[in-house]
Structure 1
Amino acid sequence: MMTKFRGAAFILKFRFLFIGIACMCILAGCASQRIARNAKPFFFIQISDTQLGFYPKKLQQEIALYEKAVAEVNRLKPDFVVITGDLVNNAKDENQQAEFKRITAMISKKIPVYVIPGNHDVGNTPTQEDVSFYTNRYGYEKFSFEHKQSRFIGFNSNFIKANTPVLEQAQYEWLEQELAKAKGAKHIVLFSHHPFFISQPDEPEAYFNIGIKTRNQYLALFKKYGVAVVFAGHLHQNGFGKYEDMEMVTTSAIGEPLGKDPSGFRIITVGKEKVTHQYYNIDSIPTKVAIK
C-alpha cells in the first residue's frame, strides 16, 4: 500500500509541476505579447548629401551646415542617425574625408550613426577596388539591424544604378536574406542613396532614379516582404511617391541644395501603427520631437 501511495503522490506532484510550467509558459507568452503591443514609439534622423567640397569655394559653408546639423542631432537625441550617401564630393580627397570624419565624430557616442555610400563616394560605376577603398575608410558599405522590433537596412544603390553584374547580384541576395529575417517586424525601413523613383513608380529613367527594369525587380522584392518606406537622397531636393503601400521618400541635402528645398534634414518617427516623417530647414529645427 505504501508503494502505491508513493507512486500516486509522485504522479500527482508531477501533474502539479506540469500545470505550473504550462501556466508559466502561458504567462510568459502573454508578457511577450504585452511587450510587443507596448513597444514605445521613437524617432531617428536622416541626413543626406553632406558632400563636402561640392563647391570648393563654399567648403567652409558646407562644413558649417554639417556642424550645425550635428549640434541639432545632439540636442534632439534621436535613437540613431542614418546618412544616405555622398559624404564627400571627391572620394579620394583626404581633406574632405578628414572633415567629414571630424564632424561626424562630434555626434554623441550615445547616438549610433550609420552611413551608406553615394556615387561621389564610390563612383558612378563602382568596382571592387572602389568599394574596398571606401570600406577601408568608413568600415562598411551596407548595414542591417533591428531596433525596437523594426528592421532597418541600408545598401549600396550604386551597384543597382550601374547594373554591375557580380557586385549587384551578391548584394541583391544579401538584401533578400535580410528582408526574410525581418519577417514579423513591426516595420521594415530601407535606406538607399539613389531613389528608385522620384514621384511615380513608372516614370522614365533619368540620372537621379533607377532604370525601370531594375526598379520593377526591386519594387516587387520590397512588396513581397512588406517594406514600409525607402528613404533616399542624391536629388538634393525633396521628393515623394508611392508604390502601392510603400513610400519612396527622397530627402534634400544638408549640403548644397539643387532645388527650392533649403539645407536641412528629415526627422522620422516610428510609431505603433506607421512610420511618419517631416523635412526641416536647418534653421527651423523643432525644439523637441512629438512622438505619438
Structure 2
Amino acid sequence: MSRIHVPINHQRLLTTNPVIWLLVWTCLMSLTLMSNPVNAQDRDTFRPFSFVLLGDPQIGYGNGMAHGSYQRFVDQAKVLNALPSDFIIMPGDMVHSNNPYQWKLFMQGVKQYDRQLFLIPGNHDVESLVDLQRYRDRFGADYYDFVVHNCAFVMINSETARDDAIDRDEHIAHWNWLEKTLEEHHLANRRHIFLVMHRPLYRYQADEKTEYENWPRGTRDKMLKLMDKYNVSAVLAGHLHQTREWDMQDTDAKSYTVGGTSRLWDEKGHGCRVFHVNATGITQEYQVFEPTWPKRWHFVGVMGYVPAIFKNDIMLYGVMLLYAVATLLSVRTWRHWAKAKFRGPKRFWGVASGIMLLLTLNVIFSLNDLAMIFGARFDYLPGMADGLKTIPLAIIGLLVIVSLGSAVVYFRQMHRVRFGYLALAAITVGISQAMLSFSTYEPWLSWMDTPYWLMSHAGVCLIVCLMAKLSSNRATQNSQVSATMRRPRQIQHTTQPTRPTPPRPRPKPAAKPQVTQTRREPVSRPTPTATTQPTQVSDAFMAAMIRSGRRK
C-alpha cells in the first residue's frame, strides 16, 4: 500500500481549527495564573487566606545604621519565607534618608522575599513632588487597590492624602480616586475592606490635635466618615515604630500598627503581624524574630564600604581575574608596539592599558560603591520631574558618543592599528558598564550584580584579551621585519672551496736622487795699500756682516 503525502496548510489550520485556539488559550491562562497568583484568584468568591503586615524597613535608621537595618530586613525575609502567607504588605518608609545608597540596599533586600509584595510610600520616601515622581519610576503607582478572595485592599499614599503640602492637584486627585474606589467596593459587596496607609489617622483619640504622627483634623474627620459610610473593616499602618492595636472611634474598624525592622520605640521586639481572614472574621498574631547582631560593615574607616575582593563570590572573582589578564595583555601589546617603533598602535594600546587598569580597579575595589557612599553617584537631576527616565540614559549616551568621537579624532592612524576597532568597541562597552554602575536608575540598578551583568563583563575582557594577543603578534612580526631591514648585508659563501689568491708583492720604493753639495769658494778681496785710505764703517754694519757670515 503506497503512502500518499498530503500537504498541510498550517496557516489555515491555526486560523480555523477551534481545538488549536482552545489549547493556546489554556496555555496563556495557565501562564497568567502562574505569574500573578494573588490577582488571578476569583475576585468575587471568598476563601480563607492570610497575609503579612511588615513595618517600616527604613534602611539607614536604628542600630548599625544602613547595614544594620539592612541585615535585620534580610533576617526578617528568612522568617517570612517560612510562614504560610499569601502576600506581604509594606506600609511605607523603605529608606531613611532617601539617598541612592539606601535605595540600593533596599532593592537588594527585597530580592530575598519570595512572596508578592505590595508597597506604598512613607514620609521618608516622598517629601516633594520630585520624590513622588522618583517613587513612581521605581515602583509604579503610589496609590492603588486590589481584590483577594472578595476582600478589597485600598492602598493610600498618606503623604499626598493627609494634606496638600506636596502638591494640591495630587491631593485633590487622590481624594477623588479614594471616594470613587470605596464606593465601588461597597457596591460590589466586598466581605472586608482594608485601608492601608503609612501614617495612622490618630494615635489615641479621634479629636487629638494635629501632629507629625497623625493626620490633620480636617482630612482625618473626612476619612472617618468615609470609613463609617462604606463599612471599612481595618486600617493597617506603620510610621510609629510601635506594635499597637485599638478600636477606632465612630466606626466599627480596628487600627493596627507594627514596629518593623528599623529602630523601635517599644519593648515588643522586631517582628511582623500575620493576619488570617476566614469565615468567622479577621484574626492576627505578632511574630517576633531575633535578628543577628549587626556586623562591622566597613573598610578603612568608611562605614558600609566593602571591596568586592573581600566578598566570597566565585563568579565575581572570575571576572576580576579576566580583567587583570586583559590589563596585562594590553600592557604587553603596548610594549611590543613601542619596541617596533610604531607610534599610532603604541599610543592606542597605551591608552587602552590605562583604561583597562581603571576598570580593573573599579571591579576589584568597588569604586562605584565607594562613590555612592560619599554621595557622588548621579541619580536624577533636581527640579526636572518630567521625563526623568530619559535623563540618565541621555547622559550615558552623550558620554559614550563623546568618548568614541574623541578616540577617533585622537587616534588618527586607526587604520594602521590592527584589530583596533573591535578592541575599541569592547573597551567602550566596558566604559559604559562602569558608567552604569555609577548610576542609581532602578532598571539598571536591578540588572546589576546579576549573572547576565557578570557575563557581559566577561565578554568585554575576552574580546580585549583576544584583540591584544593578535595585535601583539602583529607587533612582533613588524619588529622582526624592521630588525632584518636594519641589519648589514652579509656575503653568502658557496659550498665549493675557492683557491686563495697569492698576495701581491709590495713594490720597492724608488731610490732617492743623491744631491752633491758644492763648497763656495771665498771671494778674494784686494789688500789695501799703504797709500789707500781705510774705509770707515759703522758698528751696525759690522754686526750685520758678522751675522751674515761674511766676516769672521
Normalising TM by the smaller chain, what interval? 0.7 to 0.9
- Residue 226 of structure 1 corresponds to 231
Q: Tell me, which stretches of 5 or more residues in structure 2 are unaligned?
A: 1-41, 292-552
Instruction: Within 5 Å, give how 1:56-135 maps onto structure 2.
Output: 57-91=64-98, 93-108=99-114, 111-123=115-127, 126-127=128-129, 129-135=130-136
- Structure 2 Cα separation of the partners of residues 161 and 36 of structure 1: 30
2:43, 2:147 within 8 Å by CA — same for their partners in 1? no
Partner AA of 2:51 in structure 1 = F
- Structure 1 Cα separation of the partners of residues 106 and 44 of structure 2: 39
Work out whether 1:267 is the aligned partner of 2:271. Answer: no
Deviation at 1:162, TM superposition (A): 3.6
Secondary structure in 2 matching 1:198:
coil
Work out whether 1:182 is the aligned partner of 2:188. Answer: no
- Residue 246 of structure 1 corresponds to 253
Partner AA of 2:276 in structure 1 = T
Partner AA of 1:50 in structure 2 = P
One of 236, 241, 247 as aligned partner of 1:236: 241
* Cα distance per residue 1:173-214 (max 9 Å; x no partner): 111121122120000011100000113222222211111221
Partner AA of 2:215 in structure 1 = I
2:91, 2:238 within 8 Å by CA — same for their partners in 1? yes
- Residue 153 of structure 2 corresponds to 152
2:45, 2:150 within 8 Å by CA — same for their partners in 1? no
2:56, 2:91 within 8 Å by CA — same for their partners in 1? yes
Identical pairs, percent: 27
Q: Tell me, which stretches of 5 or more residues in structure 1 are unaligned?
A: 1-34, 285-292
- Structure 1 Cα separation of the partners of residues 191 and 164 of structure 2: 31
Distance of aligned partners of 1:37 and 1:63 in 2 relative to their CA distance in 1, 3 Å threshold:
closer
Deviation at 1:40, TM superposition (A): 2.8
Deviation at 1:55, TM superposition (A): 4.2
**Length-normalised TM-score, structure 2:** 0.42
Secondary structure in 1 matching 2:101:
helix
Partner AA of 1:239 in structure 2 = R
* Cα distance per residue 1:225-268 (max 9 Å; x no partner): 11100100000112323233011212212211123232211111
Instruction: Report 1 or 2 for greater relative contact order, CA contacts < 8 Å, sequence distance ≥ 6.
Output: 1
- Residue 48 of structure 2 corresponds to 41
- Residue 213 of structure 1 corresponds to 218
Distance of aligned partners of 1:217 and 1:105 in 2 relative to their CA distance in 1, 3 Å threshold:
same
Which range moves more in the overlay, 270-279 or 139-148?
270-279
Deviation at 1:279, TM superposition (A): 2.3
**Length-normalised TM-score, structure 1:** 0.78
- Structure 1 Cα separation of the partners of residues 244 and 202 of structure 2: 9
Question: Is the helix fraction higher in 1 or 2?
Answer: 2
- Residue 201 of structure 1 corresponds to 206
1:50, 1:86 within 8 Å by CA — same for their partners in 2? yes
Deviation at 1:37, TM superposition (A): 11
One of 163, 166, 169 as aligned partner of 2:169: 166
Secondary structure in 2 matching 1:122:
coil
Which range moves more in the overlay, 218-227 or 153-162?
153-162
Runs of 4+ in 1 over 4 A off after TM superposition: 35-38
| Number of equivalences | 244
- Structure 2 Cα separation of the partners of residues 205 and 282 of structure 1: 34
Distance of aligned partners of 1:84 and 1:168 in 2 relative to their CA distance in 1, 3 Å threshold:
same
- Structure 1 Cα separation of the partners of residues 90 and 45 of structure 2: 29
2:237, 2:256 within 8 Å by CA — same for their partners in 1? yes
Deviation at 1:140, TM superposition (A): 2.3
Deviation at 1:64, TM superposition (A): 1.6
Partner AA of 1:177 in structure 2 = K
